[in-house]
Structure 1
Amino acid sequence: MLVIVTYDVSTVDPKPGARRLRRVAKICESYGIRVQKSVFECQVGNKELAEMKIKLADVIDKNKDSLRFYLIDQAMKARIEHIGTNLPIDVSEDTLMI
């Protein structure tokens, strides 16, 4: 499945905030591709999605940061509109990870 992961990590406290921000980005990079500064497209199965959520939840400060996961199925994939570079990743049935 295609999962869009977005995050907002507070950097009001520069050192710990920047550290959390780097960790969140690194975890997301291990599951997908960055399409904008705080947005990743991840093609994952249910197991990988669960793992990613646990890892990210362990890194963020739940009182200051925010994570969002948008699960996109094949029908919704056809409705994605894009302008510019970094085309959305292919989520055809033969490329799904299980």
Structure 2
Amino acid sequence: MVEERLYIVTYDISNEKRWRRVFKIMRGYGRWLQLSVFQCRLTARRRAELARRLEEVIHGRDDHVLILDLGPADKVDPRVESLGKTFESVQRTAIVI
């Protein structure tokens, strides 16, 4: 079995058109938590693919993406303090196609 790791991806994109493109890419890799923050369960291959796709869209001088590796997805239980709206952690679910 391929090991998945848990990542938090956050970004600051200076151009609205590029921000929308990054948002659309991110929706294919994880769950949207808030404005520019996603939680993702990724294999090493998917993580590399995500980084490559983001690098093709962003402008290095103007934009910033952080990919935070929280560790093995099955062993990490992120402790999140949520103020305001409630926070629901991402649960792994099977999708049958």
So what's the TM-score if we normalise by structure 1?
0.77
Correspondence 1:80 to 2:84: no
* Structure 1 unaligned residues grouped into runs of 5+: 11-16
Kindly state the Cα deviation for residue 50 of structure 1 after the two structures are TM-superposed: 0.3
* Counterpart pick for 1:24 among 22, 25, 31: 22
Alignment equivalent of 1:61, drawn from 59, 63, 70: 59
Q: After superposition, give the CA deviation of every residue in 1:49-89 in whole Å (9 maximum; x if it has no partner).
A: 00000000110010000000001125983352232434121
Provide the secondary structure at the position in 2 that maps to 1:56: helix
Q: Alignment length, in residue pairs?
A: 87
Change (3 A) 1:25 1:79: closer
Q: Identify, as 1 or 2, the structure richer in helix.
A: 1
- Partner amino acid, structure 2, of 1:60: I
Residue 45 of structure 2 is aligned with which of 33, 43, 47?
47
Determine the structure 2 residue equivalent to 1:13.
Answer: none
CA distance 1:3–1:66, change in 2 (3 Å): same
Task: Compute the TM-score of the two structures, normalised by the length of structure 2.
Answer: 0.78
% same residue: 33
